[in-house]
């Protein structure tokens, strides 16, 4: 009986990501099928990175809304506080834009590399009341992609010519379900830290490696390893389950440290545990 109880409570939570993985692999194979037989553009098959973005965009366009109905922890309260000049990394099709208070925001930039998601993103920005204040940038959050796009849009002036903004330009930078997929996360997060104004804030809502040594679970940690071996990053647009994002975030502020570093785990015993909170740069 105890075994049945255990299977009934623990196993479903640990196996839930399997559903998402199956859905993502389905969309990948349908994308390949469409590229070959509908678009008849075989050249796309040789750019695997682009193909994976396209497949992920297909998955997100059809399921992003449902997957954004319930967000973990106090995300809404954190996003509602955003004001001034804001950068949203990987906004997708803008499913979480209604959670911001558009009237407090002067200008919002969304760095979204999946071009197929831009029409939905712009539509949702309008719906959320951003009007002309929302600017979609076709780039990733990694400095080599983001910095040129910020120069092009005019956000970075001369101070950014060396690849970073010396005094920062953003009041708030939001990373919601995106740092799991950015390339070289340590450097990317450091780059974002440099783009914050002194006293600026980073809002974080990210799934991370299971903290099994403290409040997490060894089974869930093992499940992360198994899902990764089954191709999670490949089918999920580069998303990694085992990222040490909290560590990279803490290190980004270097020796001076953050003025405020407030991150809490939500559901630390599952295979996709989130950390959520806000970090403030020293003024
Ligand atoms: C899981 S979706 C989350 C979308 C949105 N932040 C939300 O929570 O509703 C991840 C998004 O990150 C984008 N993405 C992937 N690689 C990225 C990168 N290197 N830089 C910025 N965004 C990226 C994807 O295209 C996708 O739109």
- pLDDT digits 0-9 by tens, 148-195: 999 999 998 755 444 455 679 999 999 999 999 999 999 999 999 999
Helix axes 218-229, 2-33, angle to 10 degrees: 30
Q: Please work out whether the CB of residue 112 comes within 6 Å of at least one atom of ligand 1.
A: yes
Pairing relation of β-strands 274-280 and 196-207? Answer: antiparallel
**Residue 30 Cα, ligand 1 centroid: separation in angstroms?**
21
**Residue 4 Cα, ligand 1 centroid: separation in angstroms?**
38
Predicted local confidence at residue 167, as pLDDT: 73
Q: Please work out whether the CB of residue 249 comes within 6 Å of at least one atom of ligand 1.
A: no
**Residue 180 Cα, ligand 1 centroid: separation in angstroms?**
9
Task: Give me the CATH number covering residue 227.
Answer: 3.40.50.150
Tokens 């002309």, located at residue: 132
Number of domains in the chain: 1
Q: What's the CA gap between 204 and 185, in Å, rounded? A: 14
pLDDT, average across residues 249-255: 97
pLDDT, average across residues 219-241: 95
Q: What's the CA gap between 279 and 206, in Å, rounded? A: 13
Q: What's the CA gap between 14 and 7, in Å, rounded? A: 10
pLDDT over 50 at 240, yes or no: yes
Q: Please work out whether the CB of residue 120 comes within 6 Å of at least one atom of ligand 1.
A: no
pLDDT over 80 at 14, yes or no: yes
Q: Which ligand 1 atom sits nearest the alpha carbon of residue 89?
A: 21
- Residue span of the structural domain in which 27 resides: 1-283
Q: Please work out whether the CB of residue 188 comes within 6 Å of at least one atom of ligand 1.
A: no
DSSP string, 156-191: S-GGGTTSS-TT--EEEEEEES-TTTSSSHHHHHHH
pTM value is 0.92
Residue of 49, 50, 90, 139 to mutate, ligand 1, most atoms within 8 A of C-beta: 90
Sheet of 274-280: strands edge to edge?
134-137, 105-111, 84-89, 170-176, 196-207, 274-280, 260-266
The two most distant CA atoms of the chain are separated, in Å, by 68
Least confident of 52-61, 104-113, 240-249: 52-61
* Among the listed residues 255, 282, 281, the one whose alpha carbon sits nearest the alpha carbon of residue 172: 281
**Residue 5 Cα, ligand 1 centroid: separation in angstroms?**
37
Predicted local confidence at residue 160, as pLDDT: 47
Share of the chain above pLDDT 90, in %: 84
Predicted local confidence at residue 162, as pLDDT: 46
* Among the listed residues 268, 265, 263, the one whose alpha carbon sits nearest the alpha carbon of residue 216: 268
**Residue 7 Cα, ligand 1 centroid: separation in angstroms?**
33
Predicted local confidence at residue 163, as pLDDT: 47
Q: What's the CA gap between 97 and 236, in Å, rounded? A: 22
pLDDT over 90 at 23, yes or no: yes
- Residue of minimum CA distance from atom 15 in ligand 1: 181
**Residue 138 Cα, ligand 1 centroid: separation in angstroms?**
12
Q: What's the CA gap between 259 and 252, in Å, rounded? A: 12
pLDDT over 90 at 221, yes or no: yes
Pairing relation of β-strands 134-137 and 105-111? Answer: parallel
């Amino acid at each position: 009986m105890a075994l049945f109880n255990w299977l009934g409570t623990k196993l479903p939570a640990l196996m839930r990501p399997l559903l998402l993985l199956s859905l993502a692999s389905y969309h990948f194979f349908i994308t390949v099928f469409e590229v070959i037989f509908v678009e008849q553009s075989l050249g796309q098959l040789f750019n695997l990175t682009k193909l994976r973005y396209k497949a992920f965009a297909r998955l997100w366009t059809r399921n992003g809304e449902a997957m954004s109905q319930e967000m973990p922890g106090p995300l809404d309260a954190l996003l509602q506080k955003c004001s001034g000049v804001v950068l949203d990394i990987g906004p997708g099709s803008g499913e979480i834009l209604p959670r911001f208070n558009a009237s407090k925001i002067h200008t919002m930039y969304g760095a979204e590399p999946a071009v197929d998601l831009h029409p939905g993103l712009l539509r949702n920005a309008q719906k959320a009341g951003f009007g002309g204040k929302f600017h979609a940038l076709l780039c990733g959050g990694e400095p080599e992609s983001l910095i040129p796009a910020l120069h092009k849009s005019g956000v970075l002036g001369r101070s950014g010519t060396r690849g970073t903004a010396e005094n920062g330009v953003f009041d708030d930078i939001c990373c919601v379900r995106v740092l799991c997929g950015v390339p070289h996360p340590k450097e990317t997060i450091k780059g974002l830290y440099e783009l914050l104004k002194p006293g600026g804030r980073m809002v974080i809502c990210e799934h991370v490696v299971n903290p099994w040594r403290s409040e997490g679970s060894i089974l869930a940690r093992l499940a992360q390893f198994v899902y990764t071996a089954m191709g999670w990053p490949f089918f999920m647009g580069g998303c990694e389950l085992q990222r040490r994002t909290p560590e990279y975030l803490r290190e980004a502020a270097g020796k001076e440290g953050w003025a405020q570093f407030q991150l809490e785990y939500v559901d630390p015993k599952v295979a996709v545990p989130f950390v959520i909170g806000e970090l403030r740069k020293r003024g």
